[in-house]
Amino acid sequence: MGLPFEKELVVDLFAGDGGASTGTGTGIARGYREPDVAVNHNPIALAVHRAHHPQTAHNVADVYEVDPREATGGQPVTIIWASRDCRPHSKAKGGASRDRGVRGLAWVVIRGLFITISRLLFLEKVPVK
């Protein structure tokens, strides 16, 4: 007997190399499962993700412009994984981001959570200092 959420979607926002997708997929069900939807504004990052996760529907788009209902086809979502850009506000830069768009990325993830009524949200937080 399968778990009730095995048929629900797994969404990876800010998809890049695919490590987070591999990790979330491994823990979802017995055995590995590809993420269902991946979004990133960078076509190169998404091409790398596509190479690691060929079964995933890839959307080259800015997360601010993605309609969560359209991206998921209105299907139930079990996990939204969001590894947002940390370069502007982490040790990689050395200070807080001055770009409102980058600072607001977490809020776009929260919007997706409420619109899709996802069971789980994983939002990576990178320390500033």
Q: Is residue 97 part of a domain?
A: yes
Closest CA to 63 of 10, 9, 15: 15
> What are the angstrom distances between the C-alpha of 126 and each of 23, 30, 51, 72?
18, 30, 26, 27
Q: Is residue 103 part of a domain?
A: yes
Q: Is residue 5 part of a domain?
A: no
Q: Is residue 73 part of a domain?
A: yes
Coil, strand or helix: which one is 7? coil
| C-alpha to C-alpha distance for 120 and 106, rounded to whole angstroms | 15
Residue 59 phi/psi, 5-degree rounding, is: -120, 110
Q: Read off the pLDDT of each residue in 45-58 and give the average, rounded to a whole number.
A: 91
Band (60; pLDDT cuts 50, 70, 90): very high
Number of domains in the chain: 1
Full-model pTM:
0.75
Q: Is residue 3 part of a domain?
A: no
| C-alpha to C-alpha distance for 126 and 44, rounded to whole angstroms | 23
CB 13 within 8 A of CB 39: yes
Q: Read off the pLDDT of each residue in 56-82 and give the average, rounded to a whole number.
A: 89
Q: Is residue 128 part of a domain?
A: no
- pLDDT surpasses 90 at 47: yes
User: pLDDT at position 30, please?
Assistant: 46
Which is more confidently placed, 6 or 86? 6
Q: Is residue 117 part of a domain?
A: yes
User: pLDDT, tens digit, for every residue of 98-121?
Assistant: 555 565 667 777 887 788 888 888
Q: How much of the chain exceeds pLDDT 90, in percent? A: 16
Q: Is residue 129 part of a domain?
A: no
Q: How much of the chain exceeds pLDDT 70, in percent? A: 64
User: pLDDT at position 89, please?
Assistant: 47
Domain that holds residue 41: 10-123
User: pLDDT, tens digit, for every residue of 11-26?
Assistant: 888 887 766 776 665 5
Q: What CATH number is attached to the domain comprising 34?
A: 3.40.50.150
CA 84 to chain centre: 8
